[in-house]
Amino acid sequence: MSSIWNNKISVSIFGEDEGPAIGVMIDDLPANEHINAEEISRFMQRRSENKNVFSPSLRIMSGMTGERTTGAPLCAFIHNTASPVRREPAQEHDVTVRRGNADYTGAIRYRGYEDVRESAGHYTEKMTLPLCFAGAVCGQILERRGIYTGAHVLQIHTVKDNPFDPVAVSRDAVISIRDKEFPVINDHKGWMMSEDIAMAAEAGESLGGIIECAVINLPAGVGAPIFNGLKNSISQLIFSIPGVRGLEFGSGFDSSKMIGSQCEDEFYTDERGYSVTKTNNHGGIIGGISTGMPVLLKAAINPDMSDSGRTSYCPCRVPYLVPCIEAAVNIAILSHMLDYPNFC
């Protein structure tokens, strides 16, 4: 099933956008992990313009006793406050295609029996909420081992934020963005982005952008080569997020414009006795395995459909996908960390 991701831990997402509920089942989490429900709620609230929408609708159904995981599958429901009446399935070849939407591909794949309500179905952005829940849980488990994931809006349209320091990004730099109303490093650039989004909205247009994500304190040796590489797992989960059009690690596509001596990262032993690199063009992963340097990646997000008359129209979804990127990375990192010596 395309809605199940399985790699040491499994994440199964269920429901439809405007059905009675959507949710997630997480299996093979370690037992006796402390999980703070309020922190999960705060993480998920970052996913929406309405910062108070999720707290009353989120319910953990199983897998926890008190605030500790039991080792049983952790199941969470997110109840929809209103569910429109389902229309009859579309007749063959009767497909209303909205620009930039999965109407056509969904109708062909499911022969007209897919959820045909506007903004409905299994391939819309609301389905990232269960992903955010799973990522928030995994993030708490990682942070108690000192591993932190954080992301920010690097670019919207032509306005660029300051990037993370690829070699020395700090814990404070990663987590300080979480409490900001607009998730950027440079607040003035965030204001400029907001102005650009407002102008696009006035014109009935929409904007895309780039999200940059960093993982710090990930030890060397996490991951595997070939098919089960750390990049592979991260990429698969990130590309499950609607709107993601491209992904690069480290210097990414800029590497193609370098010569070998510019691109290679020289290892040396620092003052603490750790093997590190002077640069981080590899983005913290070589051969599918972490090097101990910060894991750095960038995800390109396309604009939403430019139709201000549509109820689900969003002039720019990039800021609200920041926690989704963090969640995807958290799940991938934890799945590989379960193989790491003495992690559990």
Give mean pLDDT in consecutive 10-residue pieces for the chain, a chain of 344 residues.
Answer: 88 86 95 95 84 64 95 92 52 56 70 56 71 97 98 97 97 94 97 97 95 97 95 97 96 94 92 93 97 98 74 85 98 96 86
Q: DSSP letter for 30, please.
A: P
- Whether 128 is covered by a domain: the verdict is no
Q: What is the pLDDT of residue 177?
A: 96
| Partner residues linked to 160 by β-bridges | 155
CB of 320 closer than 8 Å to CB of 221 = no
Amino acid (one-letter) located at 120: A
Does residue 223 belong to any structural domain of this protein? yes
- Domain limits at 312? 145-344
Please tell me the predicted confidence (pLDDT) of residue 215.
98
Ordered DSSP codes for 207-266: --EEEEEEEESPPTT-B-SGGG-HHHHHHHHHTTSTTEEEEEETTGGGGGGS-HHHH---
Q: What is the pLDDT of residue 305?
A: 75
Q: Is residue 285 part of a domain?
A: yes
Query: Which residue type sits at 336?
Result: H
Closest by Cα among 247, 231, 229 to 239: 247
Tokens of 307: 């139709």
Question: Given this model, what pLDDT does residue 2 score?
Answer: 77
String of DSSP letters for 279-322: --TTTTEETTEE-SSPEEEEEEEPPPP--TTSTT--S--HHHHH
Coil vs helix vs strand at 76? strand
- Residue whose entry in the numeric block shows the structure tokens 């040491």: 8
Angle CA(156)–CA(161)–CA(166) in degrees, nearest 5? Answer: 120
- The whole-number pLDDT of residue 312 equals 65
Total number of domains in the chain: 1
Please check whether residue 52 lies inside any domain of the structure: no
SS3 per residue for 192-211: HHHHHHHHHHHCCCCCCEEE
Residue 227, domain member (yes or no):
yes
Q: Which one, of 318, 14, 55, 291, lies nearest residue 184 by Cα?
A: 318
Q: What is the pLDDT of residue 140?
A: 98
Give residue 49's pLDDT.
Answer: 63
Task: Please write the tens of the pLDDT for every residue from 150-182.
Answer: 999 999 999 999 999 999 999 999 999 999 999
Residue 219 within a domain: yes
What pLDDT sits at residue 336? Answer: 97
Please say whether the beta carbons of 42 and 59 come within 8 A: no
Tokens coding 231: 């990049």
Token pair belonging to 259: 């010569």
Question: Token pair of 303, please?
Answer: 């604009």
Q: In this structure, what are the phi and psi dihedrals at residue 323, rounded to the nearest 5 degrees?
A: -65, -25
CB atoms within 10 A of CB 3: 15
CATH assignment at residue 203: 3.60.150.10
Q: How many CB atoms lie within 10 A of CB 240?
A: 19
Task: Tell me, yes or no, whether 310 lies in a domain.
Answer: yes
Handedness of CA 151, 54, 79, 97 (dihedral sign): negative
- Asked if residues 235 and 247 have their Cβ atoms less than 8 Å apart, the reply is yes
- Judge whether 88 lies within some domain: no
Q: What gap in Å lies between CA 79 and CA 130, rounded to an integer?
A: 11
Burial of residue 85, with CB atoms counted within 10 A of its CB: 0-12 exposed, 13-18 middle, 19 or more buried: exposed
